[in-house]
Amino acid sequence: MFKKILIANRGEIACRVAATARRLGIRTVAVYSEADRTARHVALCDDGVLIGAAAARDSYLNYRVIIEAALASGAEAVHPGYGFLSENGDFAEACADAGLVFIGPPPSAMRSMGSKSAAKTLMAVAGVPLVPGYHGANQDADFLQREGDRIGYPLLLKASAGGGGKGMRVVEGPGDFKPALASCRREALNAFGDEQVLLEKYLIRPRHIEIQVFADMHGHCIHLYERDCSVQRRHQKVLEEAPAPGMQPERRAAMGRAAIAAAKAVGYVGAGTVEFIVDPDGTFYFMEMNTRLQVEHPVTEMITGLDLVEWQLRVADGQPLPLTQEQLTLRGHALEARIYAENPEHGFLPSTGMLRHLRMPDALAFAVGADGGDGGDGGDDADGANRRPAAVRIDAGVREGDLITPFYDPLLAKLIVWGEDRPQALSRMQQALAQWQVAGPATNLAFLQRLVASPAFCAAELDTGLIERHQALLLPPPGRPPFQALVLATVAQMAGESGTNRAQAGNDLPWSDASGWCLGRRRQRNLMFFDEHARHEVQVQYLADGWRIAHDGRSATVRLLGRDGPALVLAVAEARGPGSAETILRASVAGDGDVLHIFVAASHHALTYLDPMAHAGLAEAGDGRLTAPMPGKIVAVLVASGQQVKSGQPLLIMEAMKMEHTISAPGAGTVDEILYAVGEQVADGAPLLTFH
């Protein structure tokens, strides 16, 4: 077995690989960009090498520098993780030329499957069923339009290289084809360096089911059951589970045989995933093969008791597969939720900023894999097989205080749960999601909570359109913050003022205290908070041992019983008539400047305290400027100065975090000045154009 490996990746997958390597006694080398100097994956590895600037093309995609780092560090092998260079045949070949073992499939297999078009041709020869479409070399736009008309609409345009939902567009009719093709090509070229596309018939309400395969250098190839990855937004997976609900043994066996045939057709070695699109009647079609470990591999590990990273290391070392197909067992059900720094209420736009506050599910309540590890019971099985699955596992790539930048994918962590059956796994997922607390960048946590509690998901009514079809339920309009949240914000603000005043005064005189002491009467004041949508005025009367807090017709007597950092314990007696009972309220309030992040009753509310002195003369927005919703690069300008535009009309296209985002007109008007040109970088909140 290897003594030292270099992990050519970052984030949670680098942490994941490091954990298994540590368990096996293998030393690890991290590579990092200038933006990742203090990243978690660097801290978890034994050594680290700076490989370049923040932009991925200058660091994590520069394989020559990575190979130099591996050789200089004494590493014997390179694990590519997923994304970046994991499916780059040139990188795998360069590793071999340098005397390094590439922990992945041979370059020939990667190249065969790296082009979706070429892969479909191979699969047709191997007898694997294909979706009707076009995947040829002719990329003339007019020719592609004719092929699209022949196949019929709706139609799926897909980048031939890469994956992750990038370079994909659903075309509803002939008139939408050319604009979608142009956008798809731009995004594919930027993400993968290849603008070639393929066309497929877009199936209505299909499921996305994939088969995990594993092959060794001795001719053995097996499948490790299936994963259902149907729940997606913007063609990217959000929730995955294994096994697929409703999967019959006969269909599992048929899909497994097809997946093994696909792997053998390209001489595959290592871990790979064969992805199928499945019609409601159960008919399945080959989509693509990912020649790497998948983001969702933990659910397979949970139901098999295997460590797939360990298997990768053993296969790359020339060892045979630890188990045969007949020796595999499937136990229970597993779910994975991807926790992203993104804003679901604004089209799932990526979000950036510092993680000011981060609390994950209680490690004492659940059996969490240490340091994002395999989540098993730590057994010493020589083949990494049949470990007892943990109830809850977290694969995280971040820590409190980390900065989420626009340079990389916004995935923060993965929450994986296991149960004896799907209902138990679902219950554990709901409970664990409710324990997460993140303040700083926006996240999809509240969206995930609604999703796993939705009737359709609970009933396993799964297909790739689930999120879009249930948008009204999953993305409801913002509501007013609950009374509890305003009470907590008020107490946190009052307690903070008290501590600050005493520290500044340096004494215990009553007039240096903010407890409301006044000569001969009780002090009263109003506090103003606001969120994205409204202002909220709270009336406060100081009491001997607390406050009476009122808002919008409700009031309560509140006492602060305990405070430990952001954690608060309050005694609350709401005025609801004679004999109102006092209840204990436990919550967390994390401050980020003037913003208070309140975590109570499995919900998160961000409220900004409006300091009447600091914000005197604050003006309302509305100066005719359209600002950038995130840092990024302008890739297309769709209007000109002096042009009249309609509400909702596309104006600019930005690229951020490897995805394109269209900036539309908030209302009808005339464009005055365009402030950025194609190719220019823009900061978060920067004015993009002016109009009237």
- What is the spatial distance between Cα 66 and Cα 9, in angstroms, rounded to a whole number? 10
CB crowding 518-550: b at 16 or more within 10 Å, else e: eeeeeeeeebebebeeeebebebbbeeebbbbb
Half-sphere exposure of 239 (CA within 13 A, CB side): 32
DSSP structure string for 540-590: EEE-SSSEEEEETTEEEEEEEEEEETTEEEEEEEE-SSTTPPPEEEEEEEE
Residues 560 and 567 sit within 8 Å (Cβ to Cβ):
no
Residues 277 and 230 sit within 8 Å (Cβ to Cβ):
no
Q: If we measure between CA atoms, which residue out of 214, 202, 233 comes closest to residue 470? A: 233
Indicate the DSSP class of residue 355.
-
Sign of CA dihedral 191, 193, 198, 199: positive
Residues 340 and 659 sit within 8 Å (Cβ to Cβ):
no
In this structure, which amino acid lies at residue 307?
Answer: D
292 catalytically annotated: yes
Q: Where are the alpha helices (DSSP H) in 436-544?
A: 445-453, 455-458, 466-469, 471-474, 483-505
Q: Which residues contact 329 (CB under 8 A, 6 or more apart)?
A: 304, 305, 386
Half-sphere exposure of 680 (CA within 13 A, CB side): 13
- Give the DSSP H or E segment for 342: strand 342-343
Q: Which residue in the list 111, 292, 387, 428 is annotated as catalytic?
A: 292
- What is the spatial distance between Cα 68 and Cα 65, in angstroms, rounded to a whole number? 5
Residues 40 and 63 sit within 8 Å (Cβ to Cβ):
no
- What is the spatial distance between Cα 87 and Cα 93, in angstroms, rounded to a whole number? 11
Q: Which residues contact 472 (CB under 8 A, 6 or more apart)?
A: none
Pairing of strands 207-215, 270-278: antiparallel
- What is the spatial distance between Cα 404 and Cα 11, in angstroms, rounded to a whole number? 11
259 by DSSP, 3-state: which? helix
Half-sphere exposure of 140 (CA within 13 A, CB side): 5
Give the position of tokens 């059996």. 367
SS (H, E, C) 5-20: EEECCCHHHHHHHHHH
Q: If we measure between CA atoms, which residue out of 15, 136, 8, 168 comes closest to residue 75? A: 8
- Give the DSSP H or E segment for 191: helix 177-192
Q: If we measure between CA atoms, which residue out of 314, 333, 450, 453 comes closest to residue 384? A: 314
Residues 170 and 156 sit within 8 Å (Cβ to Cβ):
yes
Q: Which residues contact 137 (CB under 8 A, 6 or more apart)?
A: 117
344 by DSSP, 3-state: which? helix
Q: Which positions are annotated as active-site residues?
A: 292
